[in-house]
């Protein structure tokens, strides 16, 4: 079995607190998940929007970043069209509860299962091109092959108050449900300038994308 290629880093975001319903450590949220409603084969609805789903190995994922509008979420640069393309950005406490009923934020282990499956099939322990959308990424080598329909897009990230946005078009940041400590949690990053997955421990009040996994 191929080893999962990780680059570990620690986020330097200071996680200022404005505009979040979370506690100072980002540990709780007043947001409730939206009930899921199956609308056909391979789809699920949430907050008035319908999402395709995709089976990869033994897992079923949403094939698009979540765009469920709750008070503690933001569009990149506060521009609504960015939400329509890339989904919304959420702090960690909100990310933990915002997936529809019957779905959840994946753990580090569940993320690893996805990446290991793709890399084992491809025979390349570093490539994640198979998970990236075929368009929407900056750079000559930014776009992927999207062989599994996961369609990862570079939605960027935001600071704890929904400010200091950065990385759209270049990097996608996704929360996991795995905690690091009282104030930090794990996320994963796919970029357009390197292979593999960048695993980062960042402030819970930072704002990243959410990709939901079926229970």
Contacts of 124 (CB under 8 A, 6+ apart): none
pLDDT of residue 41: 75
Q: Are 82 and 209 in contact (CB under 8 A)?
A: no
Every domain of the chain and the residues it spans = 6-24+38-214
122-152 pLDDT, tens digit per residue, is 777 767 889 999 999 998 778 999 999 999 9
3-state secondary structure of 199: strand
Query: pTM here?
Result: 0.85
In angstroms, rounded to a whole number, what is the distance separating the alpha carbons of residues 50 and 29? 24
pLDDT of residue 2: 39
Q: pLDDT band for position 211 (50/70/90)?
A: very high
In angstroms, rounded to a whole number, what is the distance separating the alpha carbons of residues 204 and 141? 31
Q: Are 122 and 130 in contact (CB under 8 A)?
A: yes
In angstroms, rounded to a whole number, what is the distance separating the alpha carbons of residues 67 and 47? 8
**Cα Rg for the chain, rounded, in angstroms?**
16
Q: What percent of the chain has pLDDT over 70?
A: 79
β-partners of residue 202 are 185
Q: Are 116 and 131 in contact (CB under 8 A)?
A: no
β-partners of residue 185 are 179, 202
Q: pLDDT band for position 192 (50/70/90)?
A: confident
β-partners of residue 158 are 207
- The dihedral formed by the CA atoms of 158, 159, 163 and 165, expressed in degrees to the nearest 10: -30
Give which of 88, 79, 125, 94 is closest to 29, Cα–Cα: 94
* Alpha-carbon 193 to chain mean position: 18
3-state secondary structure of 22: coil
Q: Are 16 and 161 in contact (CB under 8 A)?
A: yes
């Amino acid at each position: 079995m191929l080893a999962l290629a990780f680059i570990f880093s620690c986020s330097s975001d200071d996680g200022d607190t404005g505009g979040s319903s979370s506690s100072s450590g980002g540990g709780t949220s007043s947001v409730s998940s939206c009930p899921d409603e199956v609308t056909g084969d391979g789809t699920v609805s949430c907050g008035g929007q319908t999402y395709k789903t995709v089976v990869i190995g033994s897992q079923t994922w949403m094939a698009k970043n979540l765009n469920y509008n709750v008070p503690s979420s933001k569009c990149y640069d506060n521009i609504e069209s960015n939400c329509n393309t890339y989904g919304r950005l959420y702090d960690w406490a909100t990310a933990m509860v915002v997936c529809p009923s019957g779905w959840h934020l994946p753990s580090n282990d569940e993320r690893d299962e996805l990446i290991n499956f793709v890399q084992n099939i491809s025979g390349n322990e570093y490539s994640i091109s198979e998970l990236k959308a075929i368009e929407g990424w900056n750079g000559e080598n930014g776009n992927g092959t999207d062989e599994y329909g996961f369609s990862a897009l570079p939605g960027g990230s935001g600071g704890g108050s929904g400010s200091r946005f950065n990385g759209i078009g270049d990097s996608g940041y996704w929360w996991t449900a795995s905690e690091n400590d009282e104030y930090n949690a794990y996320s994963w990053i796919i970029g357009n300038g390197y292979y593999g997955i960048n695993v980062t421990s960042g402030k819970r009040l930072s704002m990243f994308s959410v990709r939901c996994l079926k229970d």
